[in-house]
Structure 1
Amino acid sequence: MPSIPESALIRLQANQDHVRNICILAHVDHGKTTLSDSLLASNGIISSKLAGKVRYLDSREDEQERGITMESSAISLYFKIMRRVSSQAAAGGAPIASSVTDQSNNTPADSPTDSPQSSPAEVKKSEEYLINLIDSPGHVDFSSEVSTASRLCDGALVLVDAVEGVCTQTHTVLRQAWRESVRPVLVINKIDRLITELQFTPLEAYLHLNKILEQVNAVMGTFFSENVLEEDYRKKAEQKKKTQENVDESVAALQDTFSDWHVETQDDSHIYFHPSQGNVIFASAIDGWAFRVDQFAAIYAQKLGMKEGVLRKCLWGDFFLDPKTKRVIGYKGLKGRPLKPLAVQMVLENVWKVYEVVVTEPDKEMTEKVVKLLNLKLLPRDLKSKDTRATLTTIFSQWLPLSTCVLLAVIEQLPSPPAAQKIRMPKMLHPLESTPPEPTEEWEKGMVSCDASNGVVAYVSKMVSVPLDVLPKNKRKTLSAEEMRQRGRIQREQLIASAKAAEIGEVGVHLDVDEVIANKALAEAQERAAAEELEGKEALIGFARIYSGTIRVGQRLKVLGPKYDPAQPTLHCSEVTVDSLFMIMGRDLIGLDEVPAGNVFGIGGLEGHVLKYGTLWSADWEGGQNLVGKGLETAPIVRVALEPEDPTQMAKLVRGLQLLNQADPSVQVLTQETGEHVILTSGEVHLQRCMADLRERFARIEISMSEPIVPFRETAINAPAQLITSAAMSANEAQAQEQGEKLIAKSGTGARGTIVATTPNRFVRFVVRTVPIPEELRKYLVEHAEQIQTYVESIQGSGNKGSTSPSTAHPTADEEAKLEQKLMSELRPLFAKAGDDWKGKEKDVLAFGPRRVGPNLLINNLGIDFSRNSSGNNNGQEETHGITVQDMAESVHTGFQIATNSGPLCGEPMLGMAFFLNEIELLEDTQDGGASEGRSKMAVTSGQVITTMRDACRLGFLEWSPRLMLAMYSCDIQTTAEVLGKVYAVIARRKGKILHEEMKEGTPFFAIQALMPVVESFGFADDIRKKTSGAASPQLIFSHFEMLDMDPFWVPNTVEELEDLGEKADRENVAKRYMDVVRKRKGLFVEQKIVEHAEKQRTLRKN
């Protein structure tokens, strides 16, 4: 069929009620791109025979090679339906019946022989829709692309493999859709596998599909419960505050609190999936068919003499057809009879029958009967084809076309932009409010109502890098077939006229044949030169959604960065001129003059103003609102250092890294203090994609890459510490001892981990005690890092109004008090449970570290105020020429931050250590000299306090038994029983451990959950695919840091150990190997044997 003209798509952008913005979400390999291909074929973009094979939206070469999607791709689709409406409702009333057609198939979705007859009072009314579709990746390394897609859309098609069921990423994408208030439609895909691969009967398949529905609904139920409980907690907190303010009415208020418990009273039926609601699609994207139960309800309603709406509710569930009375009965009416559910008898058996006669047991005669019975029109060559799959696809494409079913479900089940923004915008603008307030500002009203005549508010979710030759202004105009034929006719006529003129010797202007050919060759050469000039060059365009107003080319807009704060409107804000606007059509771009509210679009001119994402705001409006949302937390865990193989090409590498940083929403690009260029990626596949982009698109040079750098953490436990040799000591301590400066020493009388430290100028002396944090408290600090960060930022904001908060305005005094109260109330029982030394110390926490938000604590045990804001308040404390111990608070804090950011083992951050500041004093010899001399000396001392505090913390750490903590991947694998042993062997060889193994009921697949150190995971996916011949493919996602229970300084000490292992220890110390690798990479001292005299003869007997 011919493709849809661009003008039709552009025209529909202005009709907001007929626009749908949807994304496709699923676990990897569940059929997203294949489904997209079928939808594209309905618009003539690709051939229907190539659907599922060409993978049109996977435009990258590595996507085609790997067979997975790595980048979100958008495309706009046209869909037209015909509705039969009553003559009274033709002007806009509700339809009484509908017959649906799309551009690829003019056959009604239901069989014509079974359709209700049109009444004379009915007229046909056509409706056109624009569907902006975004195909997102399913691989866990590209979860940030899912956040990009869901933020721009109002609805989602969530695909689930009918065999594999709900997987890890299915749960993740459903949570993201819930968080963004995106309404989902469930698509159970690959049902053909139940027929051909598992060979289920229709009844077995029905039971299996019911279990999948239960799994998905269980996930949705957990989200709903979390939301309800959170709202209930907020209401109880507000009620409790009221009772404290009004003591006389406390009893009545408490009764109201319990009577207001509303977990059971809230209606949650709308969040679940059920075929009778029309939000479940059963499909086989590879075979090109899909259906909802209402299609079969329309067919059978007239035959059974039932209303279509009633039958629709009975076509899935415990409903049966009584063969005697021809009535639908429930489970109680069975009375022991072995009847099949209506879903099996009227729906699934029909699908199974087509597969039986065409594929599993091919029968030409039965195939012809089925085709005739379904009133389909197949060509004789299709019926006689030896390719049974092609015949099957042809039958289903006419009987149950996938595109018609899916797009009709999108129109009926998913909201238009105006309807969706009424629900989504209040939650987006007021994420912390359980009941968002009514909009009062002009811009807020425009966003909620999706007003195209209001000021412009748009959100740029990511920057996309596209070749320059793809931009409409640089593309050669594509001629239609008729235009090409016309050009050929003109050229032939010119050549014939020129030849005739030459024959008769006609005097006058005529065209020489050679000249015409030469001119044509010159024009083609110029076009090639222009194309070669653009080849390889990239441009960045923004991938955006407009919520209010109409954006136009040449318009001036404000760009609000992700750190924009309305309290400081001049920071992180710039103005841009819209250079160009695009409708994104997969690999192509269509130029636009304007885009009204409610549409997804591309925008040029943002390069240099938007790094990864940002908000576009009308330049006429004061202030602004940051729309940056909360995406999926996929922490970049794998880092590599890069350098060009040709050192003279460093500038190209730097430019390429800048483009990569903008084009990839989840990569992080850093420049180390040493000058190294480092990139952080989400995993091995993500790293390979980034390197391919740098080498082939952005930098276009040869790049050498270091071995992957994996983060570790350093901690200590309460176990006997090993004797640490001087070679194993930290560099600072060894150097200090070599110089004879015994300024940092272990306390002979204090508890374990107590260090007495004095600055080199002997101005300050303090005592620090290092203690491992108890397990429960450490776990809380790790899991609540975000809450701690919010608290610390609020304190910093109040202490320094000139500082910038990452995304929101500074909290008020009441909000700060609430944050502190909540944090202290949660820490208090954990500190009390930790022991007498910890009880009540939650109020004395001076700082978290590293980076002021980490899981290490600096605790004030002085008995005086020693916070950084206490400088200048001596409170009667010791003072020397105007200098107090409070003046050193900032230096002590800085030393603590440095120590926790770079531990003594291998310079990695500490985790789970507490440092009690027991004493701090100014020594007596500082009394000499005047106040000015004392102040001058203090300026020099501040730096010495930092280094002394750092070294004291590190030495106190080594007093305990140190341990390394490994970054761990959570590994999910689905495989068959035949290769289960090989999977276990590969995991064990890489020091992984199996957490859970479960056989999926009704399938031959095992679901395995395991933990694996990140440092051992490189090449794991390739290794396991080779060992299992492609039968298993892992999904790796960063989980947590786990302690390796092995002392890196362990050597045999006891008599038994010396007898079993010898002095050199035959067993490898894995912790020491990890530690030495990191120390060597960082240039720290390593205890390593070297050959001093290689030329000397080796005597084997002595060795």
Structure 2
Amino acid sequence: MPVVTTAQLVKLQSRTENIRNICILAHVDHGKTTLSDSLLASNGIISSKLAGKVRYLDSREDEQERGITMEASGISLYFQILRKSMEGEEIIKNSDEYLINLIDAPGHVDFSSEVSTASRLCDGALILVDVVEGVCTQTHTVLRQAWVENVRPILILNKIDRLITELKLTPLEAQVHLNKIVEQVNAIVGTYFAGDVIGEETKRHEAEKERQLRQDKELESESSTELTFEERDDSNIYFTPELGNVIFASALDGWAFRIDQFAQIYAAKLGIKESILCKVLWGDYYLDPKTRRFLQQKHLKGRQLKPMFVQFVLENIWAVYDSVIINNNREKIEKIVKSLQLKVLPRDMRSKDTRALLTSMFNQWLPLSTAVLLAVVDKLPSPIVAQPVRLPRILSIDVKEKPINEVERGLFSCDASDSAPVVAYVSKMFAVHSEMLPENRRKQLSAEELREKGRLQRIARLHSSDTRVGEKPVLDATASDIDHSEIPISESLDASLEQLHLQSTIDSEDVVVSQQKPSEETFIGFSRLYSGTIRVGQKLYVLGPKYDPAFPDKHCSEITVKSLYLMMGKEMESLQEVPAGNVFGIGGLEGHILKNGTLSSTKECKNLAGVTLESAPIVRVALEPADPSEINKLIEGLRLLNQADPCVEVLVQETGEHVILTAGEVHLERCLRDLKERFAKIEIQVSPPIVPFRETIVPVSEHQPNKDNIQRGVVTLSTPNKYCTIKVRTVPLPSNVTTFLNQHALTIKSIMDERQQRNKIDLHATEEYEDAIKDITIKGECILNVDEFFNLLQLEFDKAGGNEIWKNVVENIWAFGPKRVGPNLLINNVHNYTRRSWQKYFSDTKMPGSLSSDINEVNSKFIEERASLEPSIRDFEEGIHTGFQLATKSGPLCAEPLMGVAYFLEDFTISIDYENVDISEIRQKLSGYVITTMRDACLQGFLELSPRLMLAMYSCDIQATTEALGRVYAVISRRRGRIISDELKDGTPFFQICALLPVVESFGFADEIRKRTSGAAIPQLIFSGFEMLDEDPFWVPTTEEELEDLGEKSDRENLAKKYMENVRKRKGMSTDKKIVEHAEKQRTLKKK
């Protein structure tokens, strides 16, 4: 293959209509990197014989070791199509050149954030499915990501060779199997389409209903509107081989084809139009050999005909494998080579490596790169076509709306002219060694430069030798490249020596600099230009993720573009400018962009929203340097890691500990390796993984009062000075309400944000509760307005039923917690005390006060109280609210957040002898006392009921053979997981197992299950939420039966207590552990 030069690729960047930006998405080990290797071989970057072995785009050492992709990496490819056309009797050959910007994304669930960043930069996607494993967990994820980003996909059914060599399927069985996979993928896409249609129609109906209500109000009449659904054309969203958006392939063996390739072959042989053959070569169609007519199965009338896809396509593929791999029949191989007019070298025919012969034959007959790149060019859109479709969703505007300003016109038309505004999106920042940058790369000298350098060195040696005074030095004839005569050099010697001295000085300075400054990490922005042309030295605005054009001075900074790069895998080439529609790297953003952001030449540009992360970080560890004096290096390393990884989060605890949050165990290992070897370059001590828990309560019988004969959960406490008494009742929330609050945490946050924006309060105030979102948000959440949210919340309470306290409870909600957005409620139930509820406060458009009080609705009685300086409950609303937030943030079991608890404030009384005290002084003291008393009342009420721990859970998907099934079950059971479902996948020997596994028990799970099954089972772990461990951590045997079964010492392990004490020990809290637990037990150790 001829090597494609950088100049050819740069030349194509300005031809926007011939650019294709694509990414490869799939489940782990479905063949993404092998496919990309084959595409790279078409450009001469690697040898075609090494495709699938080099894993060129896996540039990290740990990627090569594990055999999985961990970071999305991009490369630009050149593709040329030769087209023939007839002009009269003369055949004219035309060629079209295309630039393919390819991004290879990871398939492992821990690196889903890399899939998000890759799909945002692209207009098309290649979705790979292993035909043996079928549709897997991450296949669903990447299909959803492509749908959300409005990326047009092509389906590649990969590893078809495994159907022949491993499953031993016949061509007919293989067609049925392939058809099922296509149907499964289409079913998934269909659900996304239906969900979008229902959402859009519901919004349209609500808008129509609101318009009708306004109209009825004006006309003083009543009418109703019904929710109806318009029919939508969904024919263009599905994968159908006859349309050319399905590719059948074996990336390892280097072949791929679409239906139209075989239609073109057989059109001439059968005398049938190619367009007709394309429609009948897939599906339930048969060819009548006598009449040359196409029949469907119902017209066969008992005849044993084969489907056309089997007869004309699959049987040919099967015949090649049978002749070369299975039976290795030399005669048949020679016949196939002759009939297909292939050129196979004699040494390949004689080779014992049958795979090499097979690859050589398929590379000529059905080359993979040609089939895939032709499909990319034919079926995936150019930036000019894609941007008017994709950008409305990114900018959150209606597709039907026309662009209203210069920026939107430039974005929608992909305008690359100098007059168009520059708008680019940086999806992630990635780190590279400074020495890998083109400007720092050692330059290779040309032949002329090498000869000149040699001439100067010879002159220097000649000058340094001792010569007699007055004698003219001469050059040796063999060393001269001018002629064979003696040449006086006294005239040019001084100039030459000066030049050489200057060169040697520069070289020595370079050496000194390189010794003083070891290779450092430089951050490059992985970017896509949507409008304009970006140039080196140009000044641009960096718009942060929170940027709003209405407040142009906030979250905005100015930068100068230092460098632009053409992405070529681990290599990069310098560029001076990049026109719209291209994917590129950009330098000079360090300190301005943390993870993602927007670049624009104008502040009027809308912020291109952040990417959707499918997996929130859940696993955290605390870090400290092995040498305490290197703490600054650790802090700097964490800063660099936080910028280089789009998913990792770096925190500093209140205790001063440095903590990182990662998506899973594999992600954690990669981050620690990067810290030690690249960013901090020091030895680091890592704590055991810190897993989040939640604390909750379960209902107890109301007929079991506590020791004071008071209803359980009701606590009355007074402040230390006895001036104030608080009565709180603790009640567990219904499970469906807790789930609803978890699912709509972003709705609560957005309502608060909207209110604060309306009051021109800085959005930084919301950062204190953003952490609460990250581990409780369920992806795909729909943001509701205030009234919709509270109406649905009341419906959830009504569904729970069984308790009168939930009737109209929504009207009295005071606050959510912890951090103002969690799944716990503070409810006002004080007699003769009314305050605006949370719903009314946040739905009101008047000038507000604080969250806990509203000075604009102070009644006359309150004004009189304030005037007389006599404190009332309104003075302490903030303290009550703060006490509730503190209690829900740190529970009594192990200082973990609460979940699913409702606190009713039943009474708040103030009893002060105003004649003998200083009221102003008492008011100040009481403010602090109320906070601590409210917190203590909430925690005490929690403990009076039946407390429980909630465990973070992983949803675990495993594919295993029948032989490995028992060992998989044993490992899951030993780690206290449970099987949800297991079913045999049709047409395969694999069982699909779905299980739930506690995160705290998951560390080392993947390694253990691979070891136990000899690599036959690979688990995928996805965080699924929290689940209650139904075991009281304070339970001890008390009844006669329990004492008889377990003994006084309770020999059975209390799992909840074990987890609770481990967390308490880690946090430095007291535990019930004793050095000697049972001193009366017999000593069994011998004295030495």
TM-score between the two structures when normalised by the length of structure 2: 0.90
* Matched AA of 1:981: G
Indicate conservation of the 8 Å contact 1:747/1:756, yes or no.
no
The whole-number CA distance in structure 1 between the counterparts of 2:530 and 2:223 is 42
Does 1:320 find its partner at 2:320? no
Q: Which of 1022, 1043, 1067 is matched with 2:1028 structurally?
A: 1043
- With over 3 angstroms needed to count, the CA separation of the structure-2 counterparts of 1:898 and 1:926, relative to structure 1, is farther
Deviations along 1:707-763, one digit per CA (max 9) or x if unpaired, are 00000000000136999xxxxxxxxxxxxxxxxxxxxx9895753211112222334
The whole-number CA distance in structure 2 between the counterparts of 1:380 and 1:532 is 54
Identify the residue that residue 171 of structure 2 maps to in structure 1. Answer: 202
Using the TM superposition, give the Cα deviation of residue 951 of structure 1 relative to its aligned residue in structure 2, in angstroms: 1.1
The whole-number CA distance in structure 2 between the counterparts of 1:974 and 1:328 is 40
The whole-number CA distance in structure 2 between the counterparts of 1:766 and 1:1017 is 43
* Matched AA of 2:854: S
Does 1:717 find its partner at 2:698? yes
Q: Which of 786, 790, 806 is matched with 1:838 structurally?
A: 806
- With over 3 angstroms needed to count, the CA separation of the structure-2 counterparts of 1:310 and 1:1060, relative to structure 1, is same
Using the TM superposition, give the Cα deviation of residue 941 of structure 1 relative to its aligned residue in structure 2, in angstroms: 2.5
* Matched AA of 2:299: G
The whole-number CA distance in structure 2 between the counterparts of 1:644 and 1:1006 is 45
Identify the residue that residue 987 of structure 2 maps to in structure 1. Answer: 1002
Identify the residue that residue 155 of structure 1 maps to in structure 2. Answer: 124
Indicate conservation of the 8 Å contact 1:542/1:604, yes or no.
yes
Indicate conservation of the 8 Å contact 1:561/1:610, yes or no.
yes
- With over 3 angstroms needed to count, the CA separation of the structure-2 counterparts of 1:202 and 1:817, relative to structure 1, is closer
* Matched AA of 1:1006: F
The whole-number CA distance in structure 2 between the counterparts of 1:592 and 1:805 is 42
Q: Which of 327, 347, 359 is matched with 1:381 structurally?
A: 347
Identify the residue that residue 123 of structure 1 maps to in structure 2. Answer: 92
- With over 3 angstroms needed to count, the CA separation of the structure-2 counterparts of 1:818 and 1:129, relative to structure 1, is closer
Identify the residue that residue 174 of structure 1 maps to in structure 2. Answer: 143
The whole-number CA distance in structure 1 between the counterparts of 2:573 and 2:931 is 59
The whole-number CA distance in structure 2 between the counterparts of 1:250 and 1:701 is 76
Does 1:472 find its partner at 2:472? no
Using the TM superposition, give the Cα deviation of residue 483 of structure 1 relative to its aligned residue in structure 2, in angstroms: 7.4
* Matched AA of 1:541: I
Does 1:943 find its partner at 2:928? yes
* Matched AA of 1:1077: N
Identify the residue that residue 913 of structure 1 maps to in structure 2. Answer: 901
* Matched AA of 1:239: E
Does 1:689 find its partner at 2:649? no
Deviations along 1:146-203, one digit per CA (max 9) or x if unpaired, are 0000001000000000101100100000001000100000001111111111111111
Using the TM superposition, give the Cα deviation of residue 64 of structure 1 relative to its aligned residue in structure 2, in angstroms: 0.2
Using the TM superposition, give the Cα deviation of residue 571 of structure 1 relative to its aligned residue in structure 2, in angstroms: 1.7
The whole-number CA distance in structure 2 between the counterparts of 1:873 and 1:371 is 90
* Matched AA of 1:650: I
Q: Which of 390, 408, 411 is matched with 2:356 structurally?
A: 390
Does 1:242 find its partner at 2:211? yes
Does 1:762 find its partner at 2:745? no
Does 1:1029 find its partner at 2:1014? yes
Does 1:869 find its partner at 2:850? no
Identify the residue that residue 229 of structure 2 maps to in structure 1. Answer: 261
Identify the residue that residue 626 of structure 1 maps to in structure 2. Answer: 607
* Matched AA of 2:247: I
Identity across aligned pairs (percent)?
Answer: 57
Does 1:57 find its partner at 2:34? no
Q: Which of 599, 606, 609 is matched with 1:616 structurally?
A: 599
Indicate conservation of the 8 Å contact 1:874/1:886, yes or no.
no
The whole-number CA distance in structure 2 between the counterparts of 1:250 and 1:1018 is 66
Does 1:187 find its partner at 2:187? no
Q: Secondary structure at the match of 2:101?
A: strand
Q: Secondary structure at the match of 2:153?
A: strand
The whole-number CA distance in structure 1 between the counterparts of 2:909 and 2:1077 is 49
Using the TM superposition, give the Cα deviation of residue 557 of structure 1 relative to its aligned residue in structure 2, in angstroms: 1.0
Equivalences for residues 296-311 of structure 1 within 5 A: 296-311=262-277
The whole-number CA distance in structure 1 between the counterparts of 2:112 and 2:448 is 45
Q: Which of 581, 584, 596 is matched with 1:598 structurally?
A: 581
Does 1:890 find its partner at 2:875? no
Does 1:331 find its partner at 2:297? yes
The whole-number CA distance in structure 2 between the counterparts of 1:872 and 1:760 is 33
Does 1:440 find its partner at 2:399? no
Q: Secondary structure at the match of 1:269?
A: coil
- State the aligned residue count: 1027
Identify the residue that residue 526 of structure 2 maps to in structure 1. Answer: 543
Deviations along 1:55-89, one digit per CA (max 9) or x if unpaired, are 000000000000000000000001111112354xx
Does 1:1085 find its partner at 2:1070? yes
- With over 3 angstroms needed to count, the CA separation of the structure-2 counterparts of 1:935 and 1:492, relative to structure 1, is closer
Moved more, 360-369 or 158-167: 360-369
Q: Which of 950, 956, 962 is matched with 1:971 structurally?
A: 956
The whole-number CA distance in structure 2 between the counterparts of 1:485 and 1:673 is 61
Q: Which of 1017, 1020, 1040 is matched with 1:1055 structurally?
A: 1040
Q: Secondary structure at the match of 1:755?
A: strand
Indicate conservation of the 8 Å contact 1:877/1:884, yes or no.
no
Using the TM superposition, give the Cα deviation of residue 23 of structure 1 relative to its aligned residue in structure 2, in angstroms: 0.4
Using the TM superposition, give the Cα deviation of residue 381 of structure 1 relative to its aligned residue in structure 2, in angstroms: 1.4
Equivalences for residues 629-640 of structure 1 within 5 A: 629-640=610-621
Indicate conservation of the 8 Å contact 1:722/1:1049, yes or no.
no
Gaps of 5+ in 1: 88-118, 724-744, 808-815
The whole-number CA distance in structure 2 between the counterparts of 1:56 and 1:584 is 13
Indicate conservation of the 8 Å contact 1:565/1:804, yes or no.
no
* Matched AA of 2:1037: P
Indicate conservation of the 8 Å contact 2:216/2:222, yes or no.
no
Q: Secondary structure at the match of 1:63?
A: helix
Deviations along 1:519-562, one digit per CA (max 9) or x if unpaired, are 99999987776666665411011111111111111111111111
Q: Which of 424, 431, 437 is matched with 1:458 structurally?
A: 424
Equivalences for residues 278-289 of structure 1 within 5 A: 278-289=244-255
Identify the residue that residue 629 of structure 2 maps to in structure 1. Answer: 648
Deviations along 1:106-126, one digit per CA (max 9) or x if unpaired, are xxxxxxxxxxxxx62542111
Q: Secondary structure at the match of 2:439?
A: coil
Q: Secondary structure at the match of 2:198?
A: helix
Identify the residue that residue 657 of structure 2 maps to in structure 1. Answer: 676
- With over 3 angstroms needed to count, the CA separation of the structure-2 counterparts of 1:1051 and 1:425, relative to structure 1, is same
Using the TM superposition, give the Cα deviation of residue 11 of structure 1 relative to its aligned residue in structure 2, in angstroms: 1.0
Deviations along 1:460-506, one digit per CA (max 9) or x if unpaired, are 100010000011110012457x7799789989999999544899996
Identify the residue that residue 781 of structure 1 maps to in structure 2. Answer: 741
Identify the residue that residue 76 of structure 1 maps to in structure 2. Answer: 76
Q: Secondary structure at the match of 1:54?
A: coil
Q: Secondary structure at the match of 1:158?
A: strand
Indicate conservation of the 8 Å contact 2:533/2:577, yes or no.
yes
The whole-number CA distance in structure 2 between the counterparts of 1:352 and 1:427 is 45
The whole-number CA distance in structure 1 between the counterparts of 2:222 and 2:271 is 57
* Matched AA of 1:1017: S
Indicate conservation of the 8 Å contact 2:549/2:603, yes or no.
no
- With over 3 angstroms needed to count, the CA separation of the structure-2 counterparts of 1:760 and 1:465, relative to structure 1, is same
Identify the residue that residue 116 of structure 1 maps to in structure 2. Answer: none
Moved more, 189-198 or 244-253: 244-253
The whole-number CA distance in structure 2 between the counterparts of 1:209 and 1:341 is 13
Using the TM superposition, give the Cα deviation of residue 828 of structure 1 relative to its aligned residue in structure 2, in angstroms: 1.6
The whole-number CA distance in structure 1 between the counterparts of 2:1004 and 2:128 is 29
Using the TM superposition, give the Cα deviation of residue 1097 of structure 1 relative to its aligned residue in structure 2, in angstroms: 14
Q: Secondary structure at the match of 1:924?
A: coil
Identify the residue that residue 853 of structure 1 maps to in structure 2. Answer: 821
- With over 3 angstroms needed to count, the CA separation of the structure-2 counterparts of 1:154 and 1:505, relative to structure 1, is closer
The whole-number CA distance in structure 1 between the counterparts of 2:299 and 2:860 is 88
The whole-number CA distance in structure 2 between the counterparts of 1:934 and 1:901 is 32
The whole-number CA distance in structure 2 between the counterparts of 1:1053 and 1:499 is 108
Identify the residue that residue 988 of structure 1 maps to in structure 2. Answer: 973
Using the TM superposition, give the Cα deviation of residue 909 of structure 1 relative to its aligned residue in structure 2, in angstroms: 0.4
Using the TM superposition, give the Cα deviation of residue 606 of structure 1 relative to its aligned residue in structure 2, in angstroms: 0.5
The whole-number CA distance in structure 2 between the counterparts of 1:371 and 1:170 is 37
Q: What is the alpha-carbon root mean square deviation over aligned residues?
A: 3.2
Identify the residue that residue 558 of structure 2 maps to in structure 1. Answer: 575
Using the TM superposition, give the Cα deviation of residue 766 of structure 1 relative to its aligned residue in structure 2, in angstroms: 1.9
Identify the residue that residue 738 of structure 1 maps to in structure 2. Answer: none
Q: Secondary structure at the match of 2:186?
A: helix
Indicate conservation of the 8 Å contact 2:702/2:712, yes or no.
no
Using the TM superposition, give the Cα deviation of residue 870 of structure 1 relative to its aligned residue in structure 2, in angstroms: 2.3
Deviations along 1:634-679, one digit per CA (max 9) or x if unpaired, are 1111100000001111111000000000000000000111111000
Using the TM superposition, give the Cα deviation of residue 361 of structure 1 relative to its aligned residue in structure 2, in angstroms: 0.9
Identify the residue that residue 827 of structure 1 maps to in structure 2. Answer: 793
* Matched AA of 1:550: T
Using the TM superposition, give the Cα deviation of residue 6 of structure 1 relative to its aligned residue in structure 2, in angstroms: 0.7
